[in-house]
Structure 1
Amino acid sequence: MSARALLLLLLASWALSEAGEAHNAQKEVDTAEEMAVFKDFMVTFNRSYGSDKELQQRFEIFQQNLARARHLQATDQGTAQYGVTEFSDFTEEEFLGLQRSPKTMPSQTLPRVFNERLQKTCDWRKLGVANNVKHQGLNCRSCWAFAAASNIDSLWAIAGYPRNVSVQELIDCDTCASRDGCNGAWVWDAFMTVLQRGGLSSANDYPYKGKKGTCKKRKGDAVAWIHDFAMLEKNETAMAEYVAFKGPITVTINKTLLQNYKHGIAKPPASQCSSVSEDHTVLLVGYGVLRYKRIPYWILQNSWGPTWGEMGYFRMHRGSNTCGIAKYPVTAILDIATDARCPQ
């Protein structure tokens, strides 16, 4: 080997060594910055861990979720922002929980019978409907009961009789007695319970505990009831018509992206949010269009408290079956005449 070749080889080795040291140094800086963010997260969400080992494990999970949030941010086709949330130290398995397919489904599908022109926007919150965002807690998968209760409350409020029905009664008195409602269920299970019990108590008389208890005898008369429930057409135009002319409905979606969702209109690619793995039920309260980008969206109420997302709500792209939103559109039916229309 010539002296020149030897010199070039030594210079190349030195450059690689310098690059490696720079990469390691940057990695240490990134880790230190992420640890600072993690400590802020622990304070914000009142987290503490039983040992240094568990703290390190949760920090590594936190780092993985930050990386996932950055990937979602890079691939989202809407306006959504992703980042640190209450669930940033959860593994994907802890957040998603067990998924299962429904054993029974509503047999009735409501036909489209609306002859009026569909309004461009709709937001029932402007009429004081569905404004009470609640928190199901971190240890009870009761989204199905919260969505059903909010659906019923909304329909009664539209009729002019505001209600706040008991979520806990749905969990304790679920018609499938062998199941723990904190392990998940389907929204039509809740509606079947309401029909069989002849209504629900108020949340004040039967408060939420965040765990399954013994079904209690009602104090006095039911404060709200329903006459039936039904599946809507699995079509987003039909869903918008029903929401505009009748009121909020429940939908069941794949909640994967909600772990890192902050705000904005979520429109992930199908690879990031499958439309065939629905596992979280929420209340659909309206729809709109982001004018400057002409992005149509749904407005949805979650049950993770008012500090999550957009004051307890979130928006998803409308018209592309985002995260399977059109698969299970279900609503309670209340036969009380009303002239109310969804505010634009």
Structure 2
Amino acid sequence: MTDDYTDQIYDEPTTEQAYFLTNDYIDQINEKATTWKAGRNFPLTTSVVYLKGMLGSKGVGLSLNGPVKSEDPNYSNFQDIPESFDAREQWTECQTIGHVRDQGNCGSSWAVATTSALSDRMCIATNGEFNETLSAEELTFCCHYCGFGCFGGWPILAWYRFKYHGCCTGGDYGSDEGCQPYRVSPCTVDGQGYNSTCNDQPFERNHKCSRECYGNTTVDYHDDHVYTRDAYHLTFRAIQKDVLCYGPIAASYDVYDDFLSYKSGVYAKTDNATYIGGHAVKLIGWGIDDDTDTPYWLLINSWNTEWGNNGTFKIERGTNQCRIDVSTTAGVPFLIEE
């Protein structure tokens, strides 16, 4: 499988600095933005090509590759949607929900977001008995029909992968947690506390798919896999009920250049911001901002805890901001006792 984007990553000059990281541009954002604040997350020397490479979702907007879910018998248990909700507070026994991953210099957000959401949903479905991270490594480099590995993929196809082939466990880079820990090194933080975006490293080449455990070698590779019983897109009105029923979901959205400098508040694209690509993150809740009275989604990014608000951010809810309201995917865990 080939993709023009793959060639683009290697062909673009890696030294082209990102104009939208300058102090003047950040100041312009803060002059225009009314619901959020911008600040420095990346050094001025960060190149455009590496920032584009840290995205990776091709699943922005409803797709023909999966059903759209609007109803579920279990939704009847949640007729009254709470004004605010945070999955980290609802399911405190599930350590994975608040964990911020680092996808490194690889456009694997589509895989990180979906494996993170399924990890949480497995924990919730088992009342905390399953409390492990699922392998973004296996999904990124073994699901060839999901997309292009480090060069992007479709979250809905990841959920289909879980349904038919499952996913093994796997912790962060450098750990021995789970069957297949992530093998893409994290992006370092410079002396000033800014995410360097791996600017001095080559873009990650796709790894060879492994079908054995190299982390915790006492685990049986085949027995370690967990599955979903379905895979679906969610309508806007079904998002909250699905999260209340089953836990966090994967959300894709259009990324504009001002988003790279998000620090706090409820993000909404500013005038004249330029589109740079599609990204996927984990949606864990919602609320209404106290200062601006703006409804928002609460999400966890995968650019480590130095980015944004300790790795998390809020984005305007109910206006299809950056197409996020129509770009969510999920699946319900399949448990053996079923």
Normalized against structure 2, the TM-score is what?
Answer: 0.72
Larger RCO (alpha carbons 8 Å, 6+ apart) = 2
C-alpha displacement at 1:63, in angstroms? Answer: 7.6
- Pairing of 1:260-279 with structure 2 (within 5 A): 260-269=261-270, 271-272=272-273, 279=278
Aligned length: 274
2:101 is aligned with 1:134: yes
Matches of 2:228 and 2:20, distance apart in 1: 46
More helix, by proportion: 1
Q: Flag the structure with larger Rg.
A: 1
Counterpart position of 1:312: 311
* Whole-Å separation in 2 of the counterparts to 1:88 and 1:253: 25
3-state SS, counterpart of residue 135 of structure 1: coil
Q: 2:180 pairs with 190, 203, 206, which one?
A: 206
Q: Does 1:166 align with 2:122?
A: no
Q: Indicate the RMSD between aligned Cα atoms, in angstroms.
A: 2.9
Residue pair 2:85, 2:286 contacting (<8 A) in 1 also: yes
2:326 counterpart residue number: 327
Q: Which residue of 1 aligns with 2:28?
A: 71
Task: Call closer, same or farther: CA 1:156–1:308 in 2, change over 3 Å.
Answer: same
The match for 1:191 is 159
Change (3 A) 1:180 1:101: closer
| Identical positions, percent | 23
Whether the 8 Å contact between 2:69 and 2:232 is mirrored in structure 1 is yes
Kept in 1: contact 2:268–2:321 (CA 8 A): yes
Q: What letter corresponds to residue 216 of structure 1 in structure 2?
A: S
Q: CA deviation at 1:186?
A: 1.4
Alignment deviations for residues 136-195 of structure 1 (CA, whole Å, 9 cap, x no partner): 11x211100100111111101212222211110011201328x64011111123223333
CA contact (8 A) 1:266 1:315 kept: yes
Gaps (5+ residues) in structure 1? 1-53, 338-344
How far apart are 1:304 and its partner, in Å? 0.6
The CA deviation string for residues 20-57 of structure 1, in whole angstroms up to 9 with x for no partner, is: xxxxxxxxxxxxxxxxxxxxxxxxxxxxxxxxxx99x7
Partner of 1:7: none
- Cα deviation for residue 117 of structure 1 reads 1.1
Partner of 1:27: none
Describe the SS at the equivalent of 1:326.
helix
TM-aligned CA distance change 1:240 to 1:227, over 3 Å: same
TM-score, length of structure 1 as denominator length: 0.71
Cα distance in 1 for partners of 2:325, 2:43 equals 26
2:121 is equivalent to residue 155 of structure 1: yes
**What is the CA–CA distance in structure 1 between the aligned matches of 2:56 and 2:169, rounded to whole Å?**
29
Long gaps (5+) in structure 2: 1-13, 172-176, 185-203, 214-219
Question: Counterpart of 1:189 in structure 2: which amino acid?
Answer: L
C-alpha contact (below 8 Å) 2:252/2:324 kept by paired residues: yes
Matches within 5 A, 1:102-121: 105-113=64-72, 114-115=75-76, 116-121=79-84
Residue pair 2:86, 2:284 contacting (<8 A) in 1 also: yes
Letter matched to residue 213 of structure 1: H
Which residue identity is paired with 1:245? C
Secondary structure (helix, strand or coil) at the match of 1:195 reads helix
